[in-house]
Amino acid sequence: MNRQYFGTDGVRGPYGGPLVNEDFAWRLGAAAGRFALENGAVSGARVLLGRDTRASGAALEGALAGGLASTGLAPFSLGIVPTPAVSLLVRRDTAALGVVITASHNPAADNGIKFFGPAGVKLTDEQEARIENLLPLQAGGPVEVPSALGAISAYLDATSGLLSALLTGWKIVLDTANGATARTSTQALRNAGAEVVPLGAEPDGLNINSGVGSEHPEKMCALVKQHAARLGIAHDGDGDRCILCDERGVVLDGDEILTMLALHALKQGKLAKKALVVTVQSNLGVDAAVTAAGGRVCRTSVGDRYVIERMLAEGATLGGESSGHIICSEVSPTGDGLVAALKVIEVMQATGRPLSELRQALRKFPQASTALKVREKKPLETLPALARAIRDLEAKLGAQGRVLVRYSGTEPKLRLLVEGPTDEAVRAGMDALETAARTDLEVG
């Protein structure tokens, strides 16, 4: 399904550019309102809007609300809240739509817009394409958005009760990326009795994701070692990702978290349909570990909403991405960094084992990945050198590895991934792909 404006995770780009600005936000709000009315919403139905800490968020919220209100819907602001809070509250209140104004892990100069349907689930490609077809030609003006009170307390209530015991005596480093979780995750862990060492917890509108958060875990790791903490937790700017650090200061990625949660659930007989859903990006070691424990792994295209769609189709309740989007759908209908962290802590409590031991459940196949910034996303089938390099490498690796080449859905980048039987084979394969990509594309 071809879409002009929506990418892998909503509309995203530099604030003030041709895509993310007040005029387009108004038009997008109006189109989303028309879409909701087409699909059973009634005049006056509530739409819940949340945003991260970017300085541009409030202006975009007012414009979006203006577009939504022009169709007869009633927008309400949840204020600065994590993306999963919007998803949860939309599902709880059966709102017509949920809207989050965020560019996730991108720098503060960017912003974006993503939508949730009444069930709290992200819209499909087809639904987003329909919204694009409903875009009005002209924009109107912003409106004052009334506040929906109690959003943070409602979210914390929904995520409480996941631990089997209090965290008395636990010291946890928490990096909230100067983003939307600075209040929520901190409060949740302290409510559970933990001593929290904060990092990236002073948002000023301009410092979101700046050297902190899930994309920059180095400071978190250093603080874990410095304070002899049990673990470190890092979110991205809107709080739907979770990256962890063990007590030795070593980072765990989403694959390790998912494997740990899946194996623990399988042992307890609680992994729904015995299924774990991951994307094509996840390491083949995930399949090996889960299959050996009696489970099964289903793979999807990259993007947490594709994971969620497959989870719904399979009847699965656990899925996610190696990037740290972890979906525990019995609690939250979308990726939730806080829920993922609490679920892992619960495994630590139940087993009495530290993360440095629990992570050993996943033995990764040698893997390398990189992202090349490109001037133009030319169709991959039109790139002869790259196509030839992919064919040659796939033939060489056979069943002992795999190759993944795709464009980012949110950034001007070509992403390359190689897995193989040895580090040497992987490095050689990646060198061949990079050389071919630079032959066919302007990289810089």
Structure tokens that stand for 222 in this block: 């250093």
Q: Strand pairing of 74-80 and 296-300?
A: unpaired
Question: Which residues lie below 8 Å from residue 134, measured CB to CB, with a gap of 6+?
Answer: 30, 31, 34, 35
C-alpha closest to that of 345 among 209, 189, 184, 195: 189
Find the catalytic residue in 104, 214, 323, 332.
Answer: 104
Cα separation, 12 vs 130, whole angstroms: 18
The residue whose two tokens read 């017509």 is 96
- Segment holding 152, helix H or strand E: helix 151-159
Q: Strand pairing of 402-407 and 275-279?
A: unpaired
Cα separation, 200 vs 211, whole angstroms: 9
Integer CA distances (angstroms), 68 to 44, 79, 100, 199, in order: 10, 17, 14, 36
Structure tokens that stand for 88 in this block: 């949860």
Backbone CA torsion sign across 161, 164, 168, 169:
negative
Cα separation, 171 vs 193, whole angstroms: 10
332 is catalytic: no
3-state class (DSSP) for residue 313? helix
Separate counts of helices (H) and strands (E) for the chain: 14, 17
C-alpha closest to that of 272 among 319, 240, 308: 319
Structure tokens that stand for 349 in this block: 């409590």
Residue numbers annotated as active site: 104
